[in-house]
């Protein structure tokens, strides 16, 4: 019934026509059935884990903390790598992603927010808004700092290329391993099913949980003008994005978990990359935010 409601909403006017032909979501979910036909192998499980890890990091550290909030600095080549790997998640490109996310922060849980579970519902915030034509175009006025990079425009325009490159890589590795070490029980098609389709659907839903779950379920450390909440299990699955109330209090921080017990894997990796010289000038919570956390925080609210 909820899906039918979304379909009716998307078909209500010309600006909200359902993008059945351009959205990969329905096909991606159906394609996961293929894992039952290609079988299991430990190689497939490793491929699933590695592609999940790499792309969740590229989305959380790259698309979110870097492209959306400019929470650290990096080279143009590493910026391109983050954009390419993140786009292989089939969530369109970094410019589209950042433009919509910046709009979300400007209007969080207000009528203009494009994916608020408070204004509409959790299903809409989680996945429904992505299906609508009104949100398919890149709003360049929101990302003027990114438009000077032609390579980012290229990735956004041809966002299918990173997807196809990952599929080709996985198929090639699986085919090669099957040719050299057939005892491993893997194949090109198996790695595509596990390392791309199943992994991508997992990445979809854990990252979508930040839009839906962390505006409904969790605790509030800070009084913000929205319903953002800290949720520990979303934080674990998304490498730190679940500390969402922290983030909405100070969006510019490269770190989202404020304390040692608030696990933030993306930040730990960024710190490692900082030591290697790949990133620098990581922005952190200022002291006043920590003072506010201890002196002016609201009582934890859990739903």
**pLDDT tens for each residue of 90-135:** 999 999 999 999 988 888 888 787 888 888 878 888 887 877 766 6
Q: Are strands 279-280 and 73-74 parallel, antiparallel or unpaired?
A: antiparallel
Is pLDDT above 60 for 302?
Answer: no
Report pLDDT for 4. 53
Looking at the chain, the whole-number percentage of residues with pLDDT higher than 70 is: 88
Contact between residue 301 and residue 97 where contact means Cβ atoms under 8 Å apart: no
Q: If you compute the radius of gyration of the chain from its CA atoms, what whole number of angstroms results? A: 20
Residue 300 lies in a domain: no
Whole-angstrom distance, CA of residue 255 vs CA of residue 140: 27
**Which tokens in the block code for residue 228?**
């953002």
Which residues span the domain enclosing 112?
18-295
What size, in residues, is the chain? 303
* Spatial contact of 135 and 160, defined as CB atoms under 8 Å apart: no
φ, ψ of residue 293 to 5 degrees: the values are -65, -35
Least Cα distance to 69 among 148, 133, 146, 180 occurs for 146
Which helix (H) or strand (E) is 280 found in, with range?
strand 279-280
Domains of the chain: total = 1
Does any domain span residue 202?
A: yes
159 to 12, 52, 85, 92, 95: CA distances (angstroms): 28, 18, 11, 6, 11
pLDDT per position as a tens digit, 206-232:
999 999 999 999 999 998 888 999 999
pLDDT at 167 over 70: yes
In a domain? residue 107: yes
- On whether residue 249 sits in a domain, the answer given is yes
| pLDDT tens by residue, 18-73 | 555 345 788 899 999 999 999 999 999 999 999 999 999 999 999 999 999 999 99
Show the DSSP H helices in 12-93 as ranges.
25-31, 35-38, 42-57, 76-87
What are the structure tokens assigned to 109, written together? 């849980």
End-to-end CA distance of the chain: 24
Is residue 290 domain-resident? yes
Is residue 4, in this structure, part of any structural domain at all? no
- In terms of Cα–Cα distance, which of 215, 236, 90, 95 is closest to 165? 90
State residue 25's pLDDT score: 81
**Distance (Å, whole) CA 66 – CA 46:** 27
Q: Is residue 303 assigned to a domain?
A: no
Q: H-type helices in 58-159, by residue range?
A: 76-87, 94-106, 122-126, 150-157
pTM of the model: 0.89
Question: CB of 184 within 8 A of CB of 174?
Answer: no
Rounded Cα gap, residues 62 and 254, in angstroms: 10
- Can you read off the two tokens belonging to residue 123? 């299903």
> Looking at the domain assignment, is residue 3 inside a domain?
no
Sequence-distant contacts of 167-172: CB under 8 A, at least 24 apart: 167/192, 167/196, 170/47, 170/51, 170/195, 170/196
Q: How far apart are CA 226 and CA 55, in angstroms?
A: 28
Render 7-18 in DSSP notation, one character per residue: HHHHTSSGGG-B
Q: How far apart are CA 48 and CA 171, in angstroms?
A: 13
Cβ atoms of 183 and 122 within 8 Å: the answer is no
């Amino acid at each position: 019934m909820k899906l039918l409601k979304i379909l009716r909403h998307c078909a209500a006017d010309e600006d909200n026509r359902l993008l059945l032909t351009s959205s990969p979501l329905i096909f991606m979910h159906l394609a996961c059935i293929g894992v039952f036909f290609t079988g299991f192998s430990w190689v497939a499980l490793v491929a699933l884990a590695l592609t999940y890890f790499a792309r969740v990091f590229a989305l959380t550290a790259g698309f979110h903390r870097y492209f959306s909030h400019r929470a650290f600095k990096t080279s143009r080549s590493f910026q391109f790598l983050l954009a390419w790997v993140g786009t292989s998640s089939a969530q369109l490109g970094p410019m589209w992603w950042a433009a919509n996310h910046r709009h979300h922060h400007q209007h969080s849980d207000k009528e203009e927010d494009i994916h608020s579970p408070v204004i509409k519902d959790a299903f809409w915030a989680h996945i429904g808004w992505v299906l609508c034509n009104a949100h398919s175009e890149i709003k360049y006025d929101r990302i003027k700092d990114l438009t000077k990079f032609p390579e980012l425009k290229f990735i956004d325009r041809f966002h299918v290329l990173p997807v196809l490159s990952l599929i080709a890589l996985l198929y090639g590795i699986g085919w090669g391993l099957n040719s050299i070490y057939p005892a491993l029980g893997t194949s090109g098609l198996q790695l595509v099913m596990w390392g791309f389709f199943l992994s991508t659907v997992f990445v979809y839903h854990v990252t979508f949980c930040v839009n839906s779950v962390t505006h409904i379920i969790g605790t509030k450390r800070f009084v913000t003008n929205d319903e953002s909440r800290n949720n520990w299990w979303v934080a674990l699955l998304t490498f730190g994005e679940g500390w969402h109330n922290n983030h909405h209090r100070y969006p510019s921080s490269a770190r989202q978990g404020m304390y040692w017990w608030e696990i933030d894997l993306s930040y730990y990796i960024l710190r490692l990359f900082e030591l290697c010289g790949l990133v620098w000038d990581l922005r952190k919570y200022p002291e006043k935010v920590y003072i506010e956390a201890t002196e002016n925080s609201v009582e934890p609210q859990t739903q």
